[in-house]
Structure 1
Amino acid sequence: MQVSFDEAIQSDAPWEFNSFGEIKDNMCTKGDSSIVWEEGKGNRSFTTSQLIVQESFMLQFKISVGCDDIYDSCEDYAPLRLEYNKDPRSDQWDLVRPLCLPDHALLSECEPRHYHSASVYTHDAYHSWTLVTIPLTEKTFSSSTRFRWIQDAISKVGTSWALDDIYVGEKCPDLCHSRGICVNGKCFCERGYFGKSCLPRPDSLISTLYDSFEGGIFSFYWESITGGGIGFGCGALRPFAHGKTLYFNGCGQREAKTVEMDLRKARKIMFVLQIGCPAQTASCNIQSGRNGSYSGVLLQYTLNRGAEWKLLSRHDAEEYLLPKRAAYDIPDDAKQEGVQFRWWQPVHRNKGYDQWAIDKVEVIKDHRAHNMRFRSRLSGDTT
């Protein structure tokens, strides 16, 4: 299935009736057409026709939630869920991706050390157009699978949202690294990427990082900061760091995500972290281990712009009540171009609770290889 809403709608279009949705141009500065649901109430959904889904299939789409409007992330708006159903006679729908966290009850459905949010989309995390790429798992395989995006806004207001470029089918090479759309097995790359699987150009990437946040948040280091900003809610992270911190106390998603980096010569990633504090103050407190949820901070890396996140380290709240310096070797599979890191707190009790802060973030190169080559040249060894 390949759907782009730029084309004229045919009577045999591969989706079912979709209440409240209409095709519009220029949604969220996007020049072409998309299918749009305005802010409102009701059961608002988009459902595909029955599809054959099997091994080596992927699902991809572009989504924007609330882009053309300003929403308070602390308000309780109806979220948008991506679900699947394999039996047209049944009204049972399940999430395409469950919430996968350390020590989570649904861990058996998740890949080891691959932690991610559920397939639920909100205005704080998907405000601008975002390309979502999901490798489909065995639970969705059948000859009659349907997918639906549904916003159950019966009892609460639903934000506006839009979809475009929906694809269900054979995986493209490396999932196009989620940097391009997949069409009939071929990647059509976004601007700035090239090749069969949409690789970045190494000369456009940074290879090291050092940020103490004294000058603010710099876009050449950080692709996005959600739920946080420069602040002193947990104080300076002494004795390992001084001055300003990147402090998280917002509603909704809490995440710091770097830009894509060239890590071919990288050696370590280091930073200072604090989660809550022993005094449990109003601006720096934590309640951990409640109902099996995880309120710590995960450090993860992705090779494909978030289509898949791999765990580098978990930081449990009770171990970081005081500032600690953390340092990790760059994994071998991350020593390539186009890698991103993120610090992510999957669960918190909302603004005013479960705060955390990071400072003095560094990604450093491996100078040993350079020194070994230098010594080899001095000794006359040219091998």
Structure 2
Amino acid sequence: NNVYNDFAFVSISSGELLELADTTSDFVASTTSFNSQTGYKTFTYEFTTAGTFTLSIGVVDIADSTVDSGLLIDNLTLNGLIFEDDFDPDSDNNQWAEISNGQVNTNFGGDGNSLWFDGGSAEDNSRYAITQALDVSRGGTISFDLIIGNIIGNSNNGGENADSGEDIALEYSIDSGISWIRLGLYDTEDYISWTTITESIDTDAITSATQFRWLQVNHSGSGFDNWAIDNVHIDLL
């Protein structure tokens, strides 16, 4: 083994070093202050579990001080999931700023629990869920499952499907909830069974502190026009 085998590395939380290159790598002539270089390479790492991680990047000179080694990095990005709630076993309240007239249960079946909305007075816009402010400055997508309708019964006991105009809106706010801008509107007649929806985050919504809201724009009061969301994901580009 070469005792002067300098190397560049990445370390992610655990302390294990993932080697990027060393003195046995393929080199080409360099136009920098170094005699030779590997040229740009792409390194990708996939996080398979959620959590908080420490990312370290560096280069090590081994055993000598005569020949220096260096590392140049560019286009460092961290892509992926910044918001996730499947409501099992309950809602992740740290991620939500407010949930109004929503409760976690299995009333609509589907994939375990969901966030089910009922209650409020007719036409009072009191059925909604609002996320905490999120940094979506790189853009991304919002994905969620939606169902609109009722469980059993008829129009006399609140068991009918939601009527026309009692749709669900996905909105965003960039001013701490003072005003809301619509990102999507979902017609009651199109979502009487569980349906997965994916929306791109609008250019105007791309800020470091954007909130998202799911809101029923109209309903007939407690016991009527129920709906639910599940498997909410917000992914960055």
- Residue 341 of structure 1 and its aligned partner are, at CA, apart by 0.4
Return the alpha-carbon distance in structure 2 between the equivalents of residues 285 and 233 of structure 1. Answer: 15
- Give secondary structure in 1 for the equivalent of 2:209: strand
5 Å-filtered alignment, 1:208-247, equals 208-236=82-110, 242-247=111-116
Say which is worse superposed, 316-325 or 270-279, in terms of deviation.
Answer: 270-279
Report sequence identity in percent.
28
Match of 1:308 among 179, 183, 188: 179
- Residue 322 of structure 1 and its aligned partner are, at CA, apart by 1.1
- Which structure has the higher relative contact order (CA within 8 Å, separation 6+)? 2
Residue in 2 that maps onto 1:124? none
Question: Could you tell me which amino acid in structure 2 is paired with residue 232 of structure 1?
Answer: T
- Residue 349 of structure 1 and its aligned partner are, at CA, apart by 1.1
Residue in 1 that maps onto 2:128? 255
Return the alpha-carbon distance in structure 2 between the equivalents of residues 285 and 355 of structure 1. Answer: 9
Question: Could you tell me which amino acid in structure 1 is paired with residue 117 of structure 2?
Answer: F
Please, what TM-score do these two structures have when normalized by structure 2?
0.59
CA contact (8 A) 2:102 2:118 kept: yes
Residue in 1 that maps onto 2:235? 364
- Residue 348 of structure 1 and its aligned partner are, at CA, apart by 1.0
Q: 1:283 to 1:229 in 2, by over 3 A?
A: farther
Return the alpha-carbon distance in structure 2 between the equivalents of residues 208 and 266 of structure 1. Answer: 11
The Cα RMSD (Å) is: 2.0
CA contact (8 A) 1:297 1:346 kept: yes
CA contact (8 A) 2:118 2:222 kept: yes
Return the alpha-carbon distance in structure 2 between the equivalents of residues 303 and 285 of structure 1. Answer: 36
- Give secondary structure in 2 for the equivalent of 1:288: coil
- Give secondary structure in 2 for the equivalent of 1:299: strand
- Give secondary structure in 2 for the equivalent of 1:208: strand
Match of 2:195 among 310, 319, 324: 324
- Residue 334 of structure 1 and its aligned partner are, at CA, apart by 1.2
Answering whether residue 159 of structure 2 is matched by residue 288 of structure 1, we say: no
Please, what TM-score do these two structures have when normalized by structure 1?
0.37
The structure whose residues are more often helix, as a share, is 1
Residue in 1 that maps onto 2:14? none
Answering whether residue 220 of structure 2 is matched by residue 346 of structure 1, we say: no
- Residue 308 of structure 1 and its aligned partner are, at CA, apart by 1.5
Structure 1: segments with no counterpart, 5+ residues: 1-206, 237-241, 367-383
Deviations 1:110-142 (A, max 9, x none): xxxxxxxxxxxxxxxxxxxxxxxxxxxxxxxxx
Return the alpha-carbon distance in structure 1 between the equivalents of residues 162 and 222 of structure 2. Answer: 13
